[in-house]
Structure 1
Amino acid sequence: MQAERKASEWFEDFYKQNKNTHVNIPWARQDVNPLLQTYLDEKTEHKGRALVIGCGLGDDAYALANTGYDTLAIDISQTALDIAQKRFEGAGIHFEKQDIFDMPNKYFEHFDFVFEALTIQSLPREFRTKMIKAVANSVAKEGEVLVVAHKKQLGDGGPPWPLTHVEIDQFLNNNLKEISFNLITEDSNISNTRFRILYKKTV
């Protein structure tokens, strides 16, 4: 609990320090994540309830809402949410300060589509199993979750803490089946490979 609180405080302080200019927020591209955009381009139907975990400045939530999803965007930083809400006022996005570890019961198996990008790796490895289960619990039966994460390489330190193949396979232990699996090569000082995996809730 103390480690979770420290993480929350760190992100809140970081967003406060960068609320007037966003160029120093390394994960905030101020555009939709291209790996999410690929999913949206491939889908022929965009409807139902969507969740963006760790929404940051809100671009991914906007992309989902703009294609027809009833979208909830959550973050542990109120400052991030305030920035996102101001940027996308009138877009029909629901912004809430929520901790994925302590989501209200009404959100259990509630969302037809969940987008999780880089949030799991932002917490130390001792939270990995708990975090993966929390993400999986938010997915409705027959719903999908798209997971984007850096792949661990030898010598990787933290933060962030990239995922191993064994760790990301824990999603399969939470009533999810793998629909597609991709390794994306990129030039990054975190890891030169990202997982892009689409799962579907089976029961």
Structure 2
Amino acid sequence: MSEQPQNLQLHVQQLADQALQKQQPSAWFEVLYAQAQGDATQIPWAKLAPHPCLQKWLAHYQPFVLGQKALIIGCGLGDDAEALAELGFDVTAFDISPTAITWCQQRFPNSLVNYVVADLFALSAQWQLGFDFVFECRNIQALPLNIRYTAISCVASVVAPSGTLLLISYVRDTDAEPCGPPWPLSESELAHFESLGLQPVEKIVFQESERFNIKQVRIEYQRSSLV
């Protein structure tokens, strides 16, 4: 029997706390995927479909040339990567969890996506400024505030000149540290993208939950052609 959502959220928080105590803040992802044993209901963000905010954006914004290079950060079970591949992107998708990557390869055995195990904080030098489209969905918010700016810098580093970053994240209204995970991003943290040469083109705020006053943003950034 699958865990109830409340129990699953508590379990995720316990795993994250244990990882923080070991000073390995992203180690809990592999633990969670491995413990799931192929049951996607045990992965709270796994919907087995492309993220609806990504789908809506792709439906209206497709100024891309066939074969442009795309990178999916923290690809999870691969649905977002597959959606981009179907549109003709040359897609690389990575996750820190080897179990997640194996899961992707099993779900999509004939995929054109290059699924790889990689660490956001130790990306290949070949990836620097290397991708025309980068998709970051709720990975930064899963990392504690003391490494938040480093994570943002790593995400920004792979966006090519004239390239696009599409960011989806929960956000908070203050700089005070929230309880988490997730730890929603603040406006000052979002501003760090601009300091790294990414200019916001469009920002849409969604009210994820009226009851809990949770807000989510979808922000399209573009890097200048001059770097």
TM-score tier by shorter-chain length is over 0.9
| 1:51-62 pair list within 5 angstroms | 51-62=71-82
Aligned to 1:147: 167
8 Å contact from structure 2 (residues 38, 103) kept in 1: no
- Alpha-carbon separation, structure 2, partners of 1:188 and 1:17: 32
Written as runs of structure 1 = structure 2, the 5 A alignment for 1:34-45 is 34-45=52-63
Name the structure 1 match of 2:100. 80
Q: What SS does the corresponding residue of 2:209 show, helix, strand or coil?
A: coil
Q: What's 1:25 paired with?
A: 43
CA contact (8 A) 2:25 2:144 kept: no
8 Å contact kept, 2:173–2:187:
no
Does the C-alpha gap of structure 1 residues 11 and 129 become closer, same or farther in structure 2, counting only changes over 3 Å?
Answer: same
Contact 2:140 2:151 in 1 (8 A): yes
Is the Cα contact below 8 Å between 1:112 and 1:140 reproduced in 2?
Answer: yes
Quote how far apart the aligned CAs of 1:192 are.
1.7
* Runs of 5+ unmatched residues, structure 2: 1-18
Q: What pairs with 1:35-184 in structure 2 (closer than 5 Å)?
A: 35-46=53-64, 47=66, 48-152=68-172, 156-184=178-206
Q: Which moved more, 1:9-18 or 1:73-82?
A: 9-18
SS of residue in 2 equivalent to 1:95: strand
Q: Counterparts of 1:10 and 1:189 in 2: how far apart (Å)?
A: 29
Distance 2:120 2:211 in 1: 27
Q: Label 1:118 to 1:190 Cα distance change in 2 as closer, same or farther (>3 A).
A: farther
Task: Kindly provide the CA deviation profile for residues 59-111 of structure 1, in whole angstroms up to 9, marking residues without a partner as x.
Answer: 00010111110000010000000001111121200011111111111000000
AA matched with 1:68:
G
For structure 1, the 5+ residue unaligned runs are none
What displacement does 1:10 show?
1.1
**Percent of residue pairs identical:** 36
Task: State the one-letter code of the partner of 2:214.
Answer: N
For 1:33, give the aligned amino acid. H
Q: Please state whether the residue corresponding to 1:113 is helix, strand or coil.
A: strand
> How many residues are matched?
202
> C-alpha distance in 1, partners of 2:155/2:189?
14
RMSD: 2.0
The Cα of 1:152 is off from its aligned counterpart by: 1.7
| CA 1:160–1:190: 2 relative to 1, 3 Å | farther
Q: Which residue of 1 aligns with 2:10?
A: none
Please state how far the C-alpha of 1:43 moved relative to its aligned partner: 2.4
State the structure with more CA Rg: 2
For residues 156 and 82 of structure 1, do their structure 2 counterparts lie closer, same or farther at Cα, with a shift above 3 Å needed? Answer: same
TM-score of the two chains, using structure 2 as the length reference: 0.83
Between 39-48 and 141-150, the greater mean CA deviation after superposition: 39-48
Divergent runs of 4+, >6 A: none
